[in-house]
A and B are shown apart, each in its own frame.
Chain A
Amino acid sequence: MNMILIAVVSLGAIGLVSAIVLYVASKKFAVYEDPRIAQVAEVLPQANCGGCGFPGCSGFAAACVKAGSLEGKLCPVGGQPTMEKVAAILGLKAEASEPKVAVVRCNGTCDNRPRLTQYDGVRSCVVANATGGGETGCFFGCLGYGDCANACQFGAIRINPQTGLPEVDETKCTACGACAKTCPRNIIEIRPRGKNNRRVYVQCVNKDKGALARKVCDAACIGCGKCVKTCPFEAITLENNLAYIDPAKCKACRKCEMECLQGAIVAVNFPPRKQRETVSAEIEQPEVKP
């Protein structure tokens, strides 16, 4: 009986002392964490893709709370609705943002860009890019070993075996930019989706002189400058034999697309052109590509 009593008392005393120590420690060394960080993190998509530029969703949440304003902060995965929710929690105003998407700026399909050599090393774009110029004569275009597809966490990008080029699934793409960061040749660009998902862009990154670019790829931008002259909005610039359409200025009028002899400018998600225009395009075509 006595033994049981001693055990209960001594254990109780140890428990009491420990409880006091723990209580004091938890008060004394308490780290204050803004409860809003947890609240913000909760509304974020928890993809931890790093597309916002911060290490994971909790990092982004902490940054939002700490900064005190949402200027320049965007969760590309959640987009505007998520940012509205974050703004509501923090009592701030969400910046208007344009939804974006990854675009592949290379149309060097197997038909357009013949393979001159064969690469049998590691099937990885970064390794192949460091080893040499790739299998085709174009040293700027897509290598096609799918580093971008491997980098995508959302399954939005895959290599089409027919063309050997990556294809972006617009419905799945969150514009986190992981693919663009991985690509050793900077082919993938994160561009605004555009009104009704319609956008016009130059599908080429070749900076070689025109004759050389045309020799290695049928769909290369040759830097002729026709599009620059045609554009009524001064949205197109020509640098290093390569045209670039500024998405901020482009009004998607598609005049440049019509002008481009090489077919390097593409317009996506537009309805088919009216009859009259398609006929004229067809008439023009034989002159362009004999």
Chain B
Amino acid sequence: MKTFRIGGVHPAANKLSAGKAIEPLALPRQAVFPLSQHIGAPATPLVKKGDTVKVGTRIAEAGGFVSAPIFSSVSGKVNKIDSVIDASGYRKPAIYIDVEGDEWEPDIDRSTTLLKTCDLSPEEIVSRIKEAGIVGMGGACFPTHVKLSPPAGCKATCVIINGVECEPYLTADHRLMLEKPDEILVGICILMKAAKVNRAYIAIENNKPDAIRLLSEKAKAYAGIEVIPLQVKYPQGGEKQLIDAVIRRQVPAPPALPIHVGAIVQNVGTVFAIYEAVQKHKPLFERIVTVTGKSLKTPSNFLTRLGTPMSQLIEAAGGMPEDTGKVIGGGPMMGKALMSTDIPICKGSSGVLLMNEHEARRATPQPCIRCAKCVSVCPMGLEPYLLATCSAHGDWDRVEHEQIMSCIECGSCQFTCPSHRPILDNIRLGKGKVGAIIRARNTKK
């Protein structure tokens, strides 16, 4: 069975909510939409205080090519345009909407019938994806239309659909594959048309045999789509790792992109959003969020309107357990500890994880014992111990030379370190600094 070739770790899966069907979550009383929910320029608001909006109304315009519009997930009145603390831990501009009723924009098709045929041209599909505000829903939030507009001289040969969900605890993609397989497959056909390719691979780790079975069965009806079962290994859901695992090609160091090896990778959640946007005229304003944790009463998967505060999801899953040590946005490996539970669900929020005090506690760092475990598990073939040390000492030239920008921040190094060293904390610092240096250099040119 296939998997990626360099590094990787095996954290405990803990997929507590895998058996729980997706439930729609009740509407929030107030929805908050941060203006930067994606990589790239923040969106610019189109509404002002007192405006009435419906479900699916465009409330913010893309702020550039690498950016995405934002749509209201609720109907009601704009309360204010202010700031909110988002998952980054800082205050960012946001639109607040007070919810009144649930009135949808009339052109959204709310029926559940499967629309298989799509007569649009590839350009029309890409523009519809762009206008629906779709971004990568695996967590990176890279605008999807940018991925589908390859730079000159590059041509895609296949699309890879990421149904790996290698993060422990999270089950949102797994449930989506089980409950919406037909929509996903039609979405893949649309995506193949938009990318002008005739091969698609759905990559699923073999800890989800039910999803593999179901999709393989259904994919027989569609030409060019193949389900690839993969060996379980973290971080297989990383774009570059997945390309290596499925088509055995390695993406060179940045600024090279997956398209340079002829691959376009999209998450299953994104593919489902593409289906809804293209066939049902439904922009991206809701997503599936896993709420989970060992002490949580009922770990669940909720179909959540964007802008819902995380506290409402936690409440719906049985309330905050008393022994909660940390609330994590995302999974335990790549997620981020949150400052408060009032943070709204954004386009890239795949999960809310409540860690108990025992799990949340970070062990005291000990001196590095030069075991090189971090080097052997690094899926990018880097030397994490070196990057961390040089970053801590502010040697930015050295870390740039050592390819710090290739780091995908998967956390395998820190997970495996027997001395509990804060390797990734320091690498993230260095990556941020080096990124700023590179941007400054490029603008100077």
Chain A residues near B (Cβ < 8 Å): 116-117, 120-122, 124, 126-127, 130-134, 139, 208
Q: Are A122 and B432 in contact (CB under 8 A)?
A: no
Q: With an 8 A cutoff between CB atoms, is B375 at the interface? A: no
Partner of A133, one of B89, B426, B429: B89
Q: With an 8 A cutoff between CB atoms, is B91 at the interface? A: yes
Q: With an 8 A cutoff between CB atoms, is B85 at the interface? A: yes
Complex Cα spacing A132 to B425, Å: 11
Complex Cα spacing A132 to B90, Å: 6
Q: Which 8 pairs between the two chains have the least Cβ-Cβ distance?
A: A132-B89, A133-B89, A122-B422, A122-B425, A120-B362, A127-B429, A130-B429, A121-B425
Contacts of A121 in B (CB 8 A): 362, 422, 425
Nearest Cβ on chain A to B293's Cβ, whole angstroms: 18
Nearest Cβ on chain B to A226's Cβ, whole angstroms: 25
Beyond A122-B426, A127-B426, A127-B428, list 4 extra A-B contacts (CB 8 Å). Answer: A116-B339, A130-B429, A132-B339, A133-B85
Q: Are B428 and A130 in contact (CB under 8 A)?
A: yes
Q: With an 8 A cutoff between CB atoms, is B88 at the interface? A: yes
Q: Are A131 and B428 in contact (CB under 8 A)?
A: yes
Contacts of B362 in A (CB 8 A): 120-121
Complex Cα spacing A208 to B90, Å: 12
Contact with A along B312-345 (1 / 0, CB 8 A): 0000000000000000000000001101100000
Partner of A208, one of B91, B425, B428, B432: B91
**A–B Cβ pairs within 8 angstroms, 29 of them:** A116-B339, A117-B340, A120-B361, A120-B362, A121-B425, A122-B392, A122-B422, A122-B426, A124-B392, A126-B429, A127-B422, A127-B425, A127-B428, A127-B429, A130-B428, A130-B432, A131-B425, A132-B89, A132-B90, A132-B336, A132-B339, A133-B85, A133-B89, A133-B90, A133-B91, A134-B89, A139-B90, A139-B91, A208-B91
Nearest Cβ on chain B to A223's Cβ, whole angstroms: 16
Within 87-109 of B, Cβ neighbours of A (below 8 Å) are at 88-91
Contacts of A131 in B (CB 8 A): 89, 425, 428
Q: Are B422 and A132 in contact (CB under 8 A)?
A: no
Within 123-160 of B, Cβ neighbours of A (below 8 Å) are at none
Nearest Cβ on chain A to B388's Cβ, whole angstroms: 10
Contacts of B392 in A (CB 8 A): 122, 124
Contact with A along B420-432 (1 / 0, CB 8 A): 0010011011001
Complex Cα spacing A100 to B422, Å: 38
Contacts of A208 in B (CB 8 A): 91
Complex Cα spacing A120 to B360, Å: 10
* Chain B residues with a Cβ closer than 8 Å to the other chain, count: 18
Complex Cα spacing A91 to B337, Å: 61
Nearest Cβ on chain B to A206's Cβ, whole angstroms: 11
Contacts of A132 in B (CB 8 A): 88-90, 336-337, 339
Nearest Cβ on chain A to B209's Cβ, whole angstroms: 38
Within 399-445 of B, Cβ neighbours of A (below 8 Å) are at 422, 425-426, 428-429, 432
Nearest Cβ on chain B to A128's Cβ, whole angstroms: 9
Complex Cα spacing A124 to B433, Å: 15
Complex Cα spacing A28 to B432, Å: 50
Residue of B nearest to A134 (CB): B89
Nearest Cβ on chain B to A163's Cβ, whole angstroms: 22
Complex Cα spacing A132 to B87, Å: 9
Task: Pick from B89, B336, B362 the residue with the most CB of A within 10 Å.
Answer: B89
Nearest Cβ on chain A to B141's Cβ, whole angstroms: 18
Contacts of A120 in B (CB 8 A): 361-362
Complex Cα spacing A120 to B364, Å: 10
Nearest Cβ on chain B to A147's Cβ, whole angstroms: 11
Nearest Cβ on chain B to A138's Cβ, whole angstroms: 10
Partner of A117, one of B91, B339, B422, B429: B339
Contacts of A116 in B (CB 8 A): 339-340
Complex Cα spacing A134 to B91, Å: 12
Contacts of A139 in B (CB 8 A): 90-91
Nearest Cβ on chain A to B88's Cβ, whole angstroms: 7
Contact with A along B333-369 (1 / 0, CB 8 A): 0001101100000000000000000000110000000
Nearest Cβ on chain B to A71's Cβ, whole angstroms: 28
Residue of A nearest to B88 (CB): A132
Contacts of B432 in A (CB 8 A): 130
Residue of A nearest to B85 (CB): A133
Nearest Cβ on chain B to A242's Cβ, whole angstroms: 15
Nearest Cβ on chain A to B245's Cβ, whole angstroms: 31
Q: Are A133 and B425 in contact (CB under 8 A)?
A: no
Complex Cα spacing A184 to B96, Å: 31
Complex Cα spacing A121 to B388, Å: 14
Complex Cα spacing A183 to B425, Å: 18
Contacts of B339 in A (CB 8 A): 116-117, 132-133
Contacts of B426 in A (CB 8 A): 122, 127
Nearest Cβ on chain A to B413's Cβ, whole angstroms: 14
Contacts of B425 in A (CB 8 A): 121-122, 127, 131
Contacts of B89 in A (CB 8 A): 131-134
Complex Cα spacing A117 to B343, Å: 14
Nearest Cβ on chain A to B425's Cβ, whole angstroms: 5
Contacts of A133 in B (CB 8 A): 85, 89-91, 339
Contacts of A127 in B (CB 8 A): 422, 425-426, 428-429
Complex Cα spacing A159 to B88, Å: 27
Complex Cα spacing A116 to B426, Å: 24
Contact with A along B65-85 (1 / 0, CB 8 A): 000000000000000000001
Nearest Cβ on chain B to A286's Cβ, whole angstroms: 32
Complex Cα spacing A134 to B37, Å: 21
Within 208-253 of B, Cβ neighbours of A (below 8 Å) are at none
Complex Cα spacing A108 to B199, Å: 59
Nearest Cβ on chain B to A91's Cβ, whole angstroms: 40
Complex Cα spacing A130 to B336, Å: 12
Contact with A along B356-392 (1 / 0, CB 8 A): 0000011000000000000000000000000000001
Complex Cα spacing A121 to B422, Å: 7
Residue of B nearest to A126 (CB): B429
Contacts of B429 in A (CB 8 A): 126-127, 130
Complex Cα spacing A117 to B360, Å: 13
Contacts of B336 in A (CB 8 A): 132
